[in-house]
Amino acid sequence: MKIAIISLLISSLAYSDAPIFLRKNVELLRTYESLTNVNRDKEIMDIYNAGFVSLPKNGDVTELTDFALIAMLKLSQAFCHKMYLNEVTFAPAERWVLTRLDLKKDVSKWNDNEIAELTSSMGEIFWGEIPDAESSKDLSEVFKSLSKLPQPAAQSSAVGLTCATMLLSPYVYTK
């Protein structure tokens, strides 16, 4: 896993003159906070502290280990879960990201347009752009797989884990 990811990073550098660096530990925490609009609480800080030593310390790409990715995934999942709970609480217009979706509707019944709306809304906030066709297709598959889980887990998992998948992206963890 580590070799695969590092190879991808190094090979992709050929496309750009700008060196790429990883966000460091607290930078990731602040990035997740600002992207999801979720403030850190004890539960999040416990997850952050548990994975702290695995998260990048200096920002070098060699710090992108499988342990680092797992720590990032756990942290992003925690933020995304709380973001989902916040989004459900508010009326669509008052939400942070999902302002045009009915979150009460069973996710297994969402159509392609609704899933595309979810990924494009998150893409705009998390990545600064709407995911391209290929990424949207992959994300849609992730969402559909998760939506088949039994309820009520499916509802939060489909939205939360799709969110976490998007946060676990070089768009987010590099600078």
Partner 1 sequence: MRVPILLLFSIFVCHSAVAAELNMSTMYSRLTGKRLTTKNPLYLKLNSFAEVKDFNSAAKLIAEEDADFIDVTAKDFSTRMLTIDGDAYGIFSDMTATVMGALRDDIDAREILKGDFLYAPAGRVSAGLSHSIRDNDLFDKFSTAGFSAKKYIQKFSPQWKINNQNLSAGVFTSRGWAKLYYNAGTNRRSVVGAMNSFLCTPIDEWKKRGLPDFHIRRDIDRAPEGKPSTFQNTCRTCHSAMDGMAGAFARLDFQQETLIFSPEVAAKYNQNPGVYPDGYITTDDSWVNYLNDSQGSGPKEFAEMLSNQEDFPLCMAKRVVKQLCFKDLKMNDSYIGSLAQEFKMSGYKLKQLFIKVALSENCYN
Contact (Cβ atoms closer than 8 angstroms) between residue 159 and residue 84? yes
Q: How far is the CB of 23 from partner 1 (least distance, A)?
A: 6
Site for partner 1 contains 96 (CB under 8 A): yes
Give the contact letters, 12-31, x = binds to partner 1 (CB under 8 A), - = no: xx-xxxxxxx-xx-xx--xx
Instruction: Tell me which of 6, 142, 149, 154 binds partner 1, using CB under 8 A.
Output: 142
Can you say how many angstroms the Cα of residue 150 is from the centroid of all Cα atoms in its chain? 22
Query: 């310390």: which residue's tokens?
Result: 57
**Residue 62 lies near partner 1 (rule: CB under 8 A):** no
Q: Are 148 and 172 in contact (CB under 8 A)?
A: no
83 neighbors 97 (Cβ within 8 angstroms) = yes
Residues 6+ positions from 130 with CB-CB distance below 8 Å: 120, 123, 124, 136
29 vs 101, which CB is nearer to partner 1? 29
Q: Footprint of partner 1 on this chain (CB under 8 A)?
A: 1, 4-5, 8-9, 12-13, 15-21, 23-24, 26-27, 30-31, 33-35, 37, 40, 45, 57-60, 96, 124-128, 131-132, 134-135, 138-139, 141-142, 165, 168-172, 174-175
